[in-house]
Amino acid sequence: MTEDRLIELIESWGADPSAFPEAERAAARALLAANPARFAAAMAEARALDEALARMPDVLPSAALTEALVASAPKPKRAGGGFRLPKFAPWAPASGAAALAAGLFMGLMVAPTASADSDTDDVQALLEEAIGYDPAALSEGIVE
Amino acid sequence: MAFSSDLDQITRAAAGDPAAVRALVNRYSPGVLSLATRMLSDRGEAEDVTQETFIRAWKALPDWEPRAKFSTWLHRVALNLCYDRLRKRRESLPGELPDLADTRLAPHEALDQSQRVRAIEAAIGALPERQSAALTLCALQGHSQAEAAEIMDVSVEALESLLARARRTLRAHLLEGSQSA
C-alpha cells in the first residue's frame, strides 16, 4: 500500500476504511494508523462529503405507486373460473347408441309394413344387435 | 442472505401469490425508485421507470433462474431504462451540451439543511450519468462494490474510477457553493 494509493482509496470510497476494497483494507488501515497527519486533509474532505451524502433523505414510493406495482403483477390462477373444456363423459357413447337404437325403432314402427320380408328380417336383426332385444317382441308385450 | 428467500418469493409471486408480490414490491421498489430519482432528477419519470422495471420483472419471473441476485438484476433493468431516457433527452435537444446545474447557493441564502439537500441532489443529477449511478449505488444505497459493479456492468476498478471522479466533482461544486454563500 502506497501513500498515493491510500489517497485514491479515500477519494473514491470515502473516509471509512470499511468501505475500501477488502483486499486492500487491512494495509490501508495500517498505513492510516502509522501516519494519520499525512492523510488528515484527505480524510476530512472525504468525511464532509460522506456526512453530506448520509443526510440525504430516503426516496420512498407513494402508496399509489406501491399499489400500481402490486396491481401490475401476475394474478393468481383461479380454481373455478374461466372457460373449461368439457370433461370426457364415459356414458356419452352409450347414450349415442341408445339414441340410434331408439331412432331405428321408431322408424321401424311407423314404416310401411309392406316392405320385403327379407329386408324386415335384416333390420330386425340389426335392431336386436343394437339395443339388445327384439323390438317386435316389445311391441307385442312379450319382453320380460 | 436474502438470496434463498428471494427465490421462494419469486416462485410464489410468479404463481400470483399476492403476499409474495407485495413483499417483493415493498423490498425492492424503494431502491429502484431512489436510483431512478437520482439518475433522472424527475420524480414522475422515476416512477414511470419503477413501474416499467417491475412490469419487466413480472414477465421474467416465470422463467427466473437465480444466476444473479434478483436485486442486482432489478437495479440493472432500472439503470438501463434510466440510460435510455437520458439518451432520449439528449437526442431531443440536438446540439445542446448537458449543462451542469447550478447547485451553488446565492450569497443571501442561508445554508440550511433543506438547501444543502437540494444542492446535493442537483449536483448528483448534474453528474455524468455513469458517475451519478456509481455514487448513488455505492454512497447512497450502500450496495457492495461487487453488486454495484455488476449492476453497472463494469469492473470494480472502473467503478472506483467513476466514484473518484464523481466525488471530486461533487466536492468541488459544493465547496464552491458554500464559499460563495
Query: Which pLDDT does position B120 carry in this prediction?
Result: 87
Query: Distance between CA atoms of A119 and A115, rounded to whole angstroms?
Result: 7
Distance from CA of B3 to the nearest CA of A (A): 21
Q: Do A60 and B33 touch (CB under 8 A)?
A: yes
Residues in chain A: 144
Report whether A100 contacts A127 (CB < 8 A).
no
Where are the CATH 1.10.1740.10 domain residues in chain B? 1-98
**Cβ–Cβ < 8 Å for B122, B41:** yes
Domain with CATH 1.10.10.10 in chain B: 100-181
pLDDT attached to residue B107? 47
CATH number given to B100-181: 1.10.10.10
- The answer to whether the CB of B163 falls within 8 A of the CB of B135 is yes
Query: Which tens digit of pLDDT belongs to each residue from A11-36?
Result: 999 999 999 999 999 999 999 999 99
Q: Chains A, B: CB contacts under 8 A, how many? A: 102
Interval B143-167 mean pLDDT: 96
Q: ipTM for the complex?
A: 0.83
Q: Could you tell me the fold of the domain covering B1-98?
A: Rna Polymerase Sigma Factor; Chain: A (1.10.1740)
Domain boundaries, chain A: 3-54, 93-139
pLDDT of B1 above 50: no
**Nearest CB partner across the interface for A52, out of B21, B25, B116:** B116
- Which residues of chain A approach chain B closer than 8 Å at the C-beta? 8, 11-14, 19, 21, 45-46, 48-50, 52-53, 55-62, 65-66, 68-70, 72-77
Task: Give the residue, B66 or B132, on which the prediction is more confident.
Answer: B132
Q: How does pLDDT run across A44-87, given as a tens digit for each residue? A: 999 999 999 998 988 999 999 999 999 999 887 665 544 454 54
* CA-wise closest residue to B178 among B100, B117, B99, B107: B107
| B55: closest chain A residue by CA | A72
- What's the average model confidence in pLDDT over A113-122? 54
